[in-house]
Amino acid sequence: MQHNIFECFDDTTRQLLFNFKQKDLQKKIFVKIKNQSIIARTMEQLINDLVYLSDKIYYNPSYFPLVSRDDLRSGTAWKDWLCPNFDTQFTYKDNMIIIGTTRKNKISINQYIEKLEKILDSNISEIIRKNKNSKLFLCYSGGIDSVLILSYLIKKKLQDKVVLINFSNIITSKKINTFDFEKKLGFEVQTIKIGLDELITACNTGEHEIAICYTTYTLLNLYKNCTFVFGFHGNQSLLHKKIFLEQINKEVSKKGYCSSLNNWKTTKNPTPLEEHCLLMKPWHKLDGTNDCKIFTPLGNEEIFEMVRSIEWNNIDPHIISDAKVARQIINENVGNLLDPIILEEDIGELDNVIGDLDIPMDKLDNQLFKIQEKSCHDKKGYDWLLFEYGRAKVKNSIKLNTLLSYMIVKKYF
């Protein structure tokens, strides 16, 4: 989109792009440039119109309808259709669509932390207020995001009203933690083991979004009509993620909490933050499963907009790699009380999906593989799926990544 003024293709485009800017937690709008016109559609409209697919989505299904959440420039499920970035502003005037860039008032990281603390305190207080007569369940991995929520609960003296639920995901992590420290603080701790059978159950629903959030789905089906607090989105709002090192683009020379970021080197082509989707997974769409409520106090549009407003110049990269934003807030809540349990990140926590994980074919519903050839399919991608299915039948196992592709094609195309 090198030009910034295009003729509005139709009334649907006008309605969708009228004073529009992409947001992390809202449904995405997709655009296509055709000659001097711009066309806009929702995901549902593109699916219903059998718009031709990109071959990329067959091989990269995890973030459907995006090819990658890490960089929107990687493309979408549909050939030649783009997902506008998070700094692009659309306006409509006289049958023309004008494309501009949002001007943000930059804030320092200290200003960000100050505002974030107030928002988090308000979010958690509101959750407590809404559930003052019932038990709260904190999904607790022992990672710094859930420890931060724990610090607020301790600060508010709610140990006797909160149960800590730990996912022991034996697919992605072999660590076993008894959480004796947390028990001594007065918390009840319950542990749920998540294994291959639970992942297969989630896959057999045929719902891609359930499959990639399989541990959350498993939990919600074990506890009926309960209220859960999750630390989802913490690595975005608490700024311990690689994308933020790319904004700073300075080497990490010291070891810190985030083992995956230790020894990070500068890059010639850092991904601009506006091209990065801060919503990692659609956990919020599982709200209501088994009559359970989901609260995610660490992530909402207000916080994400603030993250996109941070001035990254002159920030020490070790603030990111050592999760110092989270450390500072925890310390302000409870001093050094929780220091003994802030050790090192476990990158195998929760809903991590291993694309090359082998799933036994004889445990999968055969209906998952009943797909139809339609005009929207990319021939190369479709033929690849059929080839992989044939190979899987011989081996009696299929790669999870391929299975996710089948689930998407089966449901939407």
- Categorize the per-residue pLDDT at 167 as very low, low, confident or very high, splitting at 50, 70 and 90: confident
DSSP assignment of 59-124: H--TTTTBS-SS-GGG-BSBTT-B---TTEEEEEETTEEEEEE-----B-HHHHHHHHHHHHHHHH
pLDDT at residue 304, rounded to an integer: 96
Chain segment 237-251, per-residue pLDDT in tens: 999 999 999 999 999
Strands 88-93 and 96-101: antiparallel
- Categorize the per-residue pLDDT at 379 as very low, low, confident or very high, splitting at 50, 70 and 90: very high
DSSP assignment of 178-233: --HHHHHTT-EEEEEEE-HHHHHHHHTTT-HHHHTTHHHHHHHHHSTT-EEE--TT
Structure tokens, 55: 């071959």
pLDDT at residue 193, rounded to an integer: 87
DSSP assignment of 358-371: EEEGGGS-GGGG--
Average pLDDT over residues 131-142: 90
pLDDT at residue 199, rounded to an integer: 94
Q: All domains of the chain, ordered by start, with CATH?
A: 5-101 (no CATH), 109-341 (3.40.50.620), 358-412 (no CATH)
pLDDT above 70 (res 347): no
- CA 205/CA 128 separation, integer angstroms: 33
Average pLDDT over residues 42-58: 97
pLDDT above 60 (res 221): yes
Determine if the peptide bond prior to 65 is cis (ω within 30°): yes
Average pLDDT over residues 354-381: 93
385 neighbors 406 (Cβ within 8 angstroms): yes
Q: In whole numbers, what is the pLDDT of the chain averaged over residues?
A: 93
Chain segment 86-125, per-residue pLDDT in tens: 999 999 999 999 999 988 899 999 999 999 999 999 999 9
pLDDT above 70 (res 174): no
- Categorize the per-residue pLDDT at 348 as very low, low, confident or very high, splitting at 50, 70 and 90: low
Chain segment 261-281, per-residue pLDDT in tens: 999 999 999 999 999 999 878
pLDDT above 60 (res 349): no
- Categorize the per-residue pLDDT at 1 as very low, low, confident or very high, splitting at 50, 70 and 90: very low
Say whether 156 sits in a helix, a strand or coil: coil
Helix %, strand %, coil % of the chain (to 5): 40, 15, 45
CA dihedral angle for residue 248, residue 253, residue 259, residue 265, rounded to 10 degrees: 50
CA 161 to each of CA 15, 138, 153, 158, 230: distance values in angstroms, whole numbers, following the listed order: 47, 10, 9, 5, 16
Least confident of 17-26, 130-139, 335-344: 130-139
pLDDT at residue 330, rounded to an integer: 98
pLDDT at residue 115, rounded to an integer: 97
Residue 93's DSSP bridge partners are: 96
